[in-house]
A and B are shown apart, each in its own frame.
With several copies, the nearest count.
Chain A
Amino acid sequence: MKLFEYQAKEIFKSVGIAIPRGILIAEDEEFGDINLPCVIKSQVMQGGRGKAGLIQFADKANEAREKASALRFGPAKVKKILIEEKLNIKQEIYLAITIDPVDCSALIMASSEGGMDIEELAKTMPGKIIREEVAAFRELEPYQLRNVMFALGLKGDAFKQGCKILMQMFKAFRQYDAELVEINPLVITDDEQVIAADGKFIIDDNAAFRQQSYPLTRDQFDSDIEFEAAREGIPYLQFDGDIGLMCAGAGLTNAIYDLVNYFGGKVANYLEFGGPNYRRAVEAMEFTLRNKPKVILIVTFGTIARADVMAQGIADAVKKLKPEIPIVTAIRGTGEDEAGEILRKIGFENLSETEDAVKRAVALAKGDK
């Protein structure tokens, strides 16, 4: 789960990493006192907030109020806004910890070219990226802090603050089961304070059972359907086409998504019908229908998830929900003969080949019969 900037900064603050002085304004709240000049930062998930006008600057309180109001009540409809003091920037640093799956290490990446996108930096100036690894079972050792901070060119008090910030970032990385902790930029101010001016924090969804401080909120999702499906534990992704996919397994889904595009169609959404969801056809179809696709394409090739159980679920769902759009099925695997039988009874032809199913769905979405 990706946290909002303000949540990342809450964690930073709790572990002793300095953040700019600021206030968070939620939906109905009034403005409190702010430090001027200030930065007005929309708390939204999308990237490129600066270019999209979702970050604004103000020198006066009035101006700040107006700009914040425009973000909150204008077309962007931003729900939470972070208003922070504007820092006097002497230097900007990039600092992040992520996962190296080959070496099973926490990979620290740092660069004295802060503010830039690290992926951009990796392409254009790979030599400018400082790397330091902490293997599984090991701790981040003091010498590693020194390696990074000397390589960044820090000195004196900024060096010490930098060491402490990295150590605390690492603690948070382990403690919160993070996939990514990023401070970009980490600012050194004119008066040698080292402050996390921005923050990214992604918590591993698989560790949710031991990381319950950050429950899912509507704000994290693009649509109500995605949020509600996620609360039900059903992976659901929204796209902008017209074919609703119910597939079992990420691998097969990726392949179907490719095939839909290959044959000239467009996917409306993807809903994970496999794993524990294979017995929840009614809910699954309900979510899919809410997105109003022109056709539903159901493709599975089941192992544990039995084809006959899925087919029966689909039959039940059709009976209950009475969808007015065509449904194409290719439900294969354990119990596929019985599955074919069940579907035949409700007038569906259960296809055997994936490509045939995809082609038919694409044709149906284009209005063919």
Chain B
Amino acid sequence: MSIFIEQDTRVLIQGITGSEGSFWTEHILGIGTNVVAGVTPGKEGQKVENVNVYNTVRKAVAETQADASVLFVPPRFAKDAVFEALDAGIKKIVVIAEGIPVHDAMQMRRAALSEGAMVVGGNTSGVITPGVAMMGIFPYWIERVYKQGNIGIMTRSGSLTNEVTAMVISEGFGVSSLMGIGGDSVPCTRFAEFLPLYEKDPETKALVMIGELGGTMEEEVAEAMEAGIFTKPLVSFIGGRTAPEGKKMGHAGAIVTGGKGTVAGKVKALEKAGALVADRPSVTGKLLKELING
């Protein structure tokens, strides 16, 4: 068992013939993921890493029963690709693209919600269950980060994930499932919406949340903990404690305006709900140990 992606999940790769798509298809296959088809309009009949390419998701699903899709398409086409996957009945979608217009992202999230689907991203490294499968772009060959184990990781950041996760691993833990929710201001699925999956996953004993200044996603997790929706131990690191107000540090998610979305507020809410919050990445693993061992 894992969350989101299983060994038998039938994965489709949209944009498979592009340079990113074909490069990562090799690695996605490499970890053991069950890739059943690829889609690139106009390239039907080709093969990438021995995976059949179709013109449309509809046809790929009809012929291969794909039930999950990871998208390697440019940001301006992400919305169309997500709609295409949803329309074909796919309920698990990962959107890697960085730079999706926020009005597009709103439509993507809204469409996913109304279809009862889970779209992860955009601007994410995706999803990985080390040793099992991945829909994303993780360097799972880096052993000091992608070691199998019982700690769930969910994160708003690509770059910081390796940093923090390495600290968790260095304390002797491993990772059950890692969900990159993406760094955009409107992620299609929000932190709190993954909690029920982690809660019921027997492989996950505790959860690490890598948060960031801006927005209200960390506060929503605190609320879910208070409401008893998530009851496992949770340790969080939240970047941007000292970030100057009103400055965007690289992406839209990481901005504080008018006192909303401050790290201080997030820390307070999480600690009140029973989580521990690391003030530096390096102590995350130690806090986790502390919390698990009581």
Contacts and interface: CB of A to CB of B under 8 A. Distances in A.
Interface of A: 99, 101-102, 104-105, 117-119, 122-123, 135-137, 141-144, 146-147, 150, 174, 177, 179, 204-207, 209-210, 235, 237, 239, 247-255, 257-259, 261-262, 270, 272, 274-275, 300-304, 332-334, 336, 353-355
Most buried by B among A146, A274, A301: A301
B52 interface: no
13 contacts: A142-B77, A207-B102, A249-B160, A249-B183, A253-B249, A254-B243, A257-B240, A257-B243, A270-B250, A301-B159, A304-B137, A333-B139, A334-B139
Interface stretch (B29-37, B78-86, B268-276): B78-86
Contacts of A235: 248, 250
Contacts of B251: 250
A225 to B, nearest CB: 15
Given A270-B250, A301-B159, A334-B141, 4 more contacts: A147-B56, A207-B101, A255-B281, A355-B281
Given A146-B55, A334-B139, A262 B250 contact: no
Given A251-B210, A333-B162, A258 B240 contact: yes
B131 interface: no
**10 closest A-B pairs by CB:** A251-B157, A249-B159, A250-B250, A119-B258, A251-B160, A252-B159, A254-B239, A143-B84, A301-B162, A207-B101
B289 interface: no
Interface in B99-148: 99-103, 106-107, 109-111, 113, 125, 137-139, 141-142
Interface residues of B, number: 78
A204 B157 CA distance: 20
Contacts, number: 199
Contacts of A147: 56, 58
A146 B60 CA distance: 14
A177 B162 contact: no
B244 A239 contact: yes
Given A252-B163, A254-B249, A303 B216 contact: no
A272 B250 contact: yes
A206 B111 CA distance: 20
B70 to A, nearest CB: 14
Nearest to B97: A206
B18 interface: no
A159 B98 CA distance: 29
Most buried by B among A136, A207, A248: A136
Interface in B238-260: 239-244, 247-254, 257-260
Nearest to B165: A301
A303 B101 contact: no
